[in-house]
Amino acid sequence: MKLVTVAFYVLALGLLAVGLRELLTGFEENRCSMTYMFEYPEYRRVALPRRVARLYPAYGLYLYGEGLYAQETRALKLTGAPVLFLPGNAGSYKQARSLGSVALRKAENMEGGVHFNVFTVDFNEELVALYGGSLLRQTHFLHESIKAILRLYKHLKTPPQSVVLVGHSMGGVVARALYTLPRFNTNLVSLIITQASPHLAPVLALDPYLLDFYSAVRQKWVNQANKLRNVTVLSVGGGYRDYQVRSGLTSLPCPPGDPNKLSLVATAVPRTWVSTDHLSIVWCKELVLATVRAFFDLINPETRQFTDNPEKKLSVLNHHFIRHPVRMLEETQDTSISILDFPEAWSEVNTLRLAYSTPKEGQVKYFLFALSSRRKAYSHFYCRSNNLEMTSWVYGCMHKNGSSCVHAVDLSMGTELLPPYKVLILSLSDLSSVTHLVVSASNLNGKQFTVECEWQRQESQTLSVPVPHVLSFGLTVSDVTVNSSGLLHTIKLQHFHQVYQAFRINVASQCKEHKDRLPNVYRINVPWFREDSLTTVSVPSVTEISGMLHTSRPDNTSGVLLQLHTAPNCQYKVSVRTSLPRVLGQILRFCGPMVPVYTAVTLLLACGGQLSSILKSRRAADMSQVVGKGLQPHKVNLPVCILHILLSCSWFQEVWSVLCLPLMDALPSTTPDATFHEGVVPAEEWPHLLSPLLYIFGAAVAYWGSTLLRLIMRLVSLILAPLHRPSVSRDCGTLRPRTQLLITLSLTVLGGTSCGALSIFAAFLLHLYRVLRLQMTERSLSHMLNLAPRKHKEAENGTVDAESFSKSKECNGAPLLSECALQEVRDDLQLHLCLSALFTLPVMLIAPSLIHWIRNLRYSTQLDPDPCWPHIVPVITVYMLLINCNTLKLSNSKLLPLTSCLPLPLAIAMVTFSPLHLYRVTYFLLAVLAPLALCCLL
């Protein structure tokens, strides 16, 4: 049985390792270009008012500069447009150097003296993603910093009235939190760009302050959406390389239809098209260039400051981050143009497809496509060119004279930029007033490029293929073959609309003729969110594309599209296969916070099993045995699922509210544009279906974690054994009642005056010392027992004769005493190992607040606010009382039958109320440990 248990948990650990490997390493290589500083960067501290400096001694405001610009701005006489960078969790203010340096270099090539003053805030590299007590303090300091920045421009005739904020990670969340401050003037910030910021929900909620902060920000932006419509916010997610903040969390929670709130993934940004990890999104040259280009286009040429026009801001951001046409809409002065060139420059195309390469000598060239004969047979006109200069190149002819067009309208605004070429797709139904299409292939500068155009019938070039079921484990394949007679094919991946689905999409291309062709582009198009990914390949080739989603389709009405920009006269075979490692990676990406909850559930049930063993046999069971039996999904997941079903009934909701129970916890929604009203989270069904698998993962962590704890205890006890006198008593490492009371009071005072996590950690170390002493005593007694003479008569079948063995014990009292003492110590050791595993969980949950307190000791000796303050006294008291606990006291306690029944209902409550509120795990553990401590007294 033990071998089967070990084999099961080895398999569970293997599946968990496969999922973690896919989550942490199963993505494309980093294709971001590094940004470099050509001169030494300098950070000049900006003096703040004394009141602000006294209130926030750990924070600071700096101006970025380098070279001559740094010297010119030493006196802080600034004339540029202010930009303020906000670092995120444990982020340095020096991360602003990429944005500042690129903006500075680009300004050197600009006319009119337009430039930016890039400021950056030093938040002391606080762990605000794990400890939420500093978030409100950071928000207030940001408000003071903005006012200090604007005061630096008072000497100008037209000083700036607002500051543009660029926030990385939690810095973006703090930027949006500005609007929750009662005295904040909303006109001070009208544009916020966030990078890998978890707007939807925190990654891990380890304290209530973090969730309270998020709730306040969410309610402000959702309930007062109309007042904040003029505030433009752009949120950029990093893609699959960012395993710290999944891109679905970067979606802005806002009412649908708000055009000024844009959410997207870096892989969909034009001229970027790369996935970034959580840190590289700050210095990724492609993304930094897109940001800086947008900044320059946002400048009002009259004031040389950022524009206040919301339509202008939205147009610029759409141009640089969503779709990159030939120019922005407001740049189009005249919708009609005249083409007056020599007749020999015109050629009419009567074939279905055009493929033209420009000569080395510069020339003027136009191609005419007649619409009259194509309207009935075709629905679209497709054209692409690898001349990436974004100028007008396709026109609709309104008046034709002979072989040339004399009056035409520009149709190039629909151009989309792809990595190897620009593409334009025109719907013929929208061109009723146009007689001909004109494609310009002029290369007056002598630059060579290729133009390919064709008429398309969209229905015939669109195929559908149902994706394999997620439980097919890669054993079944869905494939489709495309005999390319066109330049664009679309494959609808039916039933692909959920984040837990993951596929390996293979595209194999082969051509009849070997000649130079434009590269192919394979695009995963997600209709409901801007998370497209592009793959550029040569022909012929075999390419694997990762088919995964950052967000789910809310209504399951449409699936993902695979767009193939192909080469003509080639064959493409597309095969779709479920990838089990990627499915596991997606499950951990979206449901990872559930694993520590199930780990706590397993250890809690193991503790319950240990108490039941003591109650029945007055002996403790082996730790690995009770932890192995802590996996009980039929007792935990089934009641939770029943509760979930019952909560869909109105009468049960009324009963639930009468009992004043909190809402049932749910993981953050995976659908975009999810709006939360009054804290209600849209529930999804699939996490409940996956709960047994997550329970297995959590049980595997508990099983192997407890095994590791046991090995560490043995190793440390070996090291410390020479420093302690050998003991044969089960009371080794215990404390006298007076000592217990004194230490409890001292640790309580220490926690109240400095940091609660510090006092809890100290109590945890005292209990670990008790475990170490038991481990040393168990080893000493084992050695003594082995050295003592033992004579037992064996029966003929090789077993021990029970009668003679009993007589041997009766005749010699010493071996009996040693064996009994050894068994008692072993029982106590197994009990305290289980307790130590449980004690470890609260210590791990409060570790961020302890780290924060240590790093801020030079500014303050007291942690304020302290997330541990509600349970400092009970946790320390329980830890100290359980140090003296042993199996004899528990077996004689009248409270043990009741206490042994508590772990199961509390485990169900933990799964019900803790997935989003991880800090509640400590409360549920305390609800079991407190009665257990009373068992030692009563």
Catalytic machinery residues: 169
CA 300 to chain centre: 36
Tell me: cis bond preceding 865? Omega within 30 of 0 counts. Answer: yes
- Contact 499/382 with Cβ under 8 angstroms? no
- E-strand spans in 227-339? 232-237, 261-265, 299-300, 305-306, 336-337
Exposure string for 853-885, b = 16+ CB within 10 A, e = fewer: beebeeeeeebebbbbeebbbbbbbbbbbbbbb
Task: Return the SS3 of 290.
Answer: helix
- Contact 921/843 with Cβ under 8 angstroms? no
Dist CA 755 CA 871 (whole Å): 12
Number of helices (H) and strands (E), helices first, in the chain? 26, 30
Using alpha carbons, select from 196, 188, 180 the residue that is nearest to residue 150: 188
- Contact 503/474 with Cβ under 8 angstroms? no
DSSP string, 30-75: --PPBP--SS-EEEEEPP--HHHHHH-TT-EEEEEEEHHHHHHTTT
Dist CA 43 CA 92 (whole Å): 12
The full length of the chain comes to 938
Q: Tokens representing 242?
A: 């960012």
Which distant-in-sequence residues (6+ apart) come within 8 Å of 378 by Cβ? 428, 455, 456, 457
Rg (CA), the chain: 34
Q: Which amino acid is at 160?
A: P
User: What residues does 234 pair with on adjacent strands?
Assistant: 193, 262
Exposure string for 593-615, b = 16+ CB within 10 A, e = fewer: bbbbbbbbbbbbbbbbbbbbbbb
Q: What is the C-alpha end-to-end distance of the chain, expressed in Å?
A: 37
Q: Tokens representing 229?
A: 């419509």
Dist CA 710 CA 831 (whole Å): 12
SS (H, E, C) 179-223: HHCCCCCHHHCCEEEEECCCCCCCCCCCCHHHHHHHHHHHHHHHH
Dist CA 603 CA 628 (whole Å): 9
∠ CA 396-397-401, nearest 5°, is 165
CA 575 to chain centre: 29
Dist CA 899 CA 614 (whole Å): 12
- E-strand spans in 386-502? 394-401, 404-410, 416-417, 422-427, 436-440, 450-456, 462-466, 477-484, 488-494
- Contact 119/63 with Cβ under 8 angstroms? yes
The dihedrals phi and psi of 41, each to the nearest 5 degrees, come to -75, 145
- Judging by beta carbons within 10 Å of its beta carbon (0-12, 13-18, 19+), is residue 494 exposed, middle or buried? middle
Place of tokens 């062709």: 517
Dist CA 135 CA 140 (whole Å): 9
